[in-house]
C-alpha cells in the first residue's frame, strides 16, 4: 500500500518539497528560491510562473532523492505563503499581473476608503480581520481596478483568482486542461472575503469590493480526501496522486507542532513571525489587535479556530541587514555579530517595512532605528535586529493573554530563526516562559504531510500524531531578567 507523503511548501522566499514516511520521518527535501520583485517602495511581487517552475523542479528532485516510486506516494499536502494574490487566465494559465505578495502595502488607499464607512473593523465580526493591506481582498480589488481587461475577463468567467495554494493545485491537476479551482478554509480565511462561521464567501463584502463571485475558488476543508483532485501523471510527481490537504503555512505549522487542543500555541520565526493559539471550535474575536482565523478543518469535523498574532518582519530584517546594508555576508552570521557585544547598547529597531501588523494594524508606520549614540556599532545593530523579533513576539503574547485569559506554560517554536541561540534565549527571557523546539523543525511541511496522511488514512486521528513530537531543545528564562 502507498505509504509515503509528499508535502509542497510554497513560502515567501522559497519553495520546498519534502517526502515523509508513515512515521513522519523526513526522507528527502529539495528547496529553491525565487525572485523578490520590488517595483516601488512598499510594493512586493513574485512571478507566479517562476513559482510554478520552482515547484515542479523541487517536486521532481525530492521524489528522486527519496528513491520512492511515485505510485507509492499516498497523498500530497500543499501549504503556502498566505494572502499573496494571483489572477490568471483559465484558458492559457497566463497571469494577468505578478503575484501581489502579503507584505505589499499598495492597497492602503483602498483600505482607508473602505474604512471610511464603519471604521477599520467593519468586517471583523464576519471575517475575523481588520481592514489592512495584508489581506487578499483589497489586493484582488486593486488588480480588478488597475489592470486593463481583468474585470471584463472576470465577468466573462475567464479570469480566476487564487492564493498560491489555488494556483499550484490548479496547475498540478491539469492547468488549462481541467485544473481544479479550489482553496481551503484556512487560506480563504485570509482574504477578508470569507464569513468565518459559514465558511463561505460573503456576498455583501464581495459586492462592496466589486469582486465577481465566479472568479473565486470553491472552499473545501483543509483535510479532504476527494476535494482537490489528483496530479497529472505527466506532471512533476510522475503519477496520479491525490492532493488531499491544503493549509496556509502558519496553520500547517500548528498542525506540525500537534497543537490540537485549545490553549496550545506555536510561534514560527520565518520571513515574518506568526503566533497561533488554538481556541477550539468557536471563533474568539480579539479586542487586543489579534486576528481570528481558521486553524484547520478536518473533513466533516467542525472547523477549529485560532487567534493569531501576525508580525510582518522577523527574518526579513536579517536579510535586509545582509542585502541592503551589507552588514553580514550570510544570514547565519547575524548571531556571531550580535554576540560580539554585551547588550544592545541602547539601540532598538522597529522593522515596520510593511507598516505594523498585530497588534497595531498601522499601514502608515515605517521602520525606525532609535537610540543611536556614537558608541553604537555593527554588533549593536545586529543585536537590536534580533531583539526586535523577540519584542514583537512579547507584544502579541501579551495581547493573547488579554484576549484569551490563558497563560502559556511554554512556547513551541519553529522556523528558520530558531537555530539562533541568542534570539531564543532572549525570547525566553522576555516572555518569562520556556521556549521549546521540536526535533523536526520543518513543521510547516510536516503539518501538510500530517494533514494529507490523515486524509489518506495513513493515520486515523490527529491524536496519533502526538507521539512523533519530541522536544529537542529548551531555553529556560534566566531569573535575573525574568524578575526585572
Ligand atoms: O501570512 C504570511 C505567511 O503565511 C508567510 O509565511 O513562512 O512564507 O514567510 P512565510
Cα(482) to centroid(ligand 1), Å: 30
Cα(346) to centroid(ligand 1), Å: 30
12 marked as part of a ligand binding site:
yes
Atom of ligand 1 nearest to the CA of 415: 7
Ligand 1 contacts CB of residue 102 (under 6 A)? yes
Mean pLDDT by 10 residues, the chain (484 residues): 88 96 92 95 96 98 94 96 98 98 95 94 96 97 98 97 98 96 98 97 97 97 91 93 96 96 93 94 93 96 96 94 95 95 96 93 93 96 96 95 88 94 95 94 94 91 87 88 47
Does ipTM surpass 0.95 in this model?
yes
Query: Which residue among 13, 31, 82, 267 has the greatest number of ligand 1 atoms within 8 angstroms of its CB, and so is best to mutate?
Result: 82
The whole-angstrom separation of Cα 63 and Cα 60 is: 5
198 marked as part of a ligand binding site:
no
16 marked as part of a ligand binding site:
yes
Strand partners, 305: 280, 294
Q: Is 143 helix (H, G, I), strand (E, B) or coil?
A: helix
315 marked as part of a ligand binding site:
yes
Ligand 1 contacts CB of residue 249 (under 6 A)? yes
Q: Going by CA atoms, what residue is nearest to atom 5 of ligand 1?
A: 81
Ligand 1 contacts CB of residue 134 (under 6 A)? no
Provide the pLDDT for residue 2: 62
Ligand 1 contacts CB of residue 416 (under 6 A)? no
Atom of ligand 1 nearest to the CA of 10: 8
Atom of ligand 1 nearest to the CA of 190: 1
The whole-angstrom separation of Cα 248 and Cα 78 is: 8
Q: Which three cell numbers stand for residue 152?
A: 471584463
Q: Is 473 helix (H, G, I), strand (E, B) or coil?
A: strand
Residue with cell 503556502: 80
Q: Provide the strand spans (E) within 81-215.
A: 86-89, 99-100, 159-162, 182-184, 194-195, 200-201
Ligand 1 contacts CB of residue 315 (under 6 A)? no
Ligand 1 contacts CB of residue 82 (under 6 A)? yes
146 marked as part of a ligand binding site:
no
Q: What is the pTM of this model?
A: 0.94
Q: Which three cell numbers stand for residue 249?
A: 503555512
Provide the pLDDT for residue 460: 84
Q: Going by CA atoms, what residue is nearest to atom 1 of ligand 1?
A: 82
The whole-angstrom separation of Cα 167 and Cα 155 is: 19
The total of other beta-carbon atoms located within 10 Å of residue 58's CB is 23
Strand partners, 213: none
Cα(331) to centroid(ligand 1), Å: 18
Amino acid at each position: 500500500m502507498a505509504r509515503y507523503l509528499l508535502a509542497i511548501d510554497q513560502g515567501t522566499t522559497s519553495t520546498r518539497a519534502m517526502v515523509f514516511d508513515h512515521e513522519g520521518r523526513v526522507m528527502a527535501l529539495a528547496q529553491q528560491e525565487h525572485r523578490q520583485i520590488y517595483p516601488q517602495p512598499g510594493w512586493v511581487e513574485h512571478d507566479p510562473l517562476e513559482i510554478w517552475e520552482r515547484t515542479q523542479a523541487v517536486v521532481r528532485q525530492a521524489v528522486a532523492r527519496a528513491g520512492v516510486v511515485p505510485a507509492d506516494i499516498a497523498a500530497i499536502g500543499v501549504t503556502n505563503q498566505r494572502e499573496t494574490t494571483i489572477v490568471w487566465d483559465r484558458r492559457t494559465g497566463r497571469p494577468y499581473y505578478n503575484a501581489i505578495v502579503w507584505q505589499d502595502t499598495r492597497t492602503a488607499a483602498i483600505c482607508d476608503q473602505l474604512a471610511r464607512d464603519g471604521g477599520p473593523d467593519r468586517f471583523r465580526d464576519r471575517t475575523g480581520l481588520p481592514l489592512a493591506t495584508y489581506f487578499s481582498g483589497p489586493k484582488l480589488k486593486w488588480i480588478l481596478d488597475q489592470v486593463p481587461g481583468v474585470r471584463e475577463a472576470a465577468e466573462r468567467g475567464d479570469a480566476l483568482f487564487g492564493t498560491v495554494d489555488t494556483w499550484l493545485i490548479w496547475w498540478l491537476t491539469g492547468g488549462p486542461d481541467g485544473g481544479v479551482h479550489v482553496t481551503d478554509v484556512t487560506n480563504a480565511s485570509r482574504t477578508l472575503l470569507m464569513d468565518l462561521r459559514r465558511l463561505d464567501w460573503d456576498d455583501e463584502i464581495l459586492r462592496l469590493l466589486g469582486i465577481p463571485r465566479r472568479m473565486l475558488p470553491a472552499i473545501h476543508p483543509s483535510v479532504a480526501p476527494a476535494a482537490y483532485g489528483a496530479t497529472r501523471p505527466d506532471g512533476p510527481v510522475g503519477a496520479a496522486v491525490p492532493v488531499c490537504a491544503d493549509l496556509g503555512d502558519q496553520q500547517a505549522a500548528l498542525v506540525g507542532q500537534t497543537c490540537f487542543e485549545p490553549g496550545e500555541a506555536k510561534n514560527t520565526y520565518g520571513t515574518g513571525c506568526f503566533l497561533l493559539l488554538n481556541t477550539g471550535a468557536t471563533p474568539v474575536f480579539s479586542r487586543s489587535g489579534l486576528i481570528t482565523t481558521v486553524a484547520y478543518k478536518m473533513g466533516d469535523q467542525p472547523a477549529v479556530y485560532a487567534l493569531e498574532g501576525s508580525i510582518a518582519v522577523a527574518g526579513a530584517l536579517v536579510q535586509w541587514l545582509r542585502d541592503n546594508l551589507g552588514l553580514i555576508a550570510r544570514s547565519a552570521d547575524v548571531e556571531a555579530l550580535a554576540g560580539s557585544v554585551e547588550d544592545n547598547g541602547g539601540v532598538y529597531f522597529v522593522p515596520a517595512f510593511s507598516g505594523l501588523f498585530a497588534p497595531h494594524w498601522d499601514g502608515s508606520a515605517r521602520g525606525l532605528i532609535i537610540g543611536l549614540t556614537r558608541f553604537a556599532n555593527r554588533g549593536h545593530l545586529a543585536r537590536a535586529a534580533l531583539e526586535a523579533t523577540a519584542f514583537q513576539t512579547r507584544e502579541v503574547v501579551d495581547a493573547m493573554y488579554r484576549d484569551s485569559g490563558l497563560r502559556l506554560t511554554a512556547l513551541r517554536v519553529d522556523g528558520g530563526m530558531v537555530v539562533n541561540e541568542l534570539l531564543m534565549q532572549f525570547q525566553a527571557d522576555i516572555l518569562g516562559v520556556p521556549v521549546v523546539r521540536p526535533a523536526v523543525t520543518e513543521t510547516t511541511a510536516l503539518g501538510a504531510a500530517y494533514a494529507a496522511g490523515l486524509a489518506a488514512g495513513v493515520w486515523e486521528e490527529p491524536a496519533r500524531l502526538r507521539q512523533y513530537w519530541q522536544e529537542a531543545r529548551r531555553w529556560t528564562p534566566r531569573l535575573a531578567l525574568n524578575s526585572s
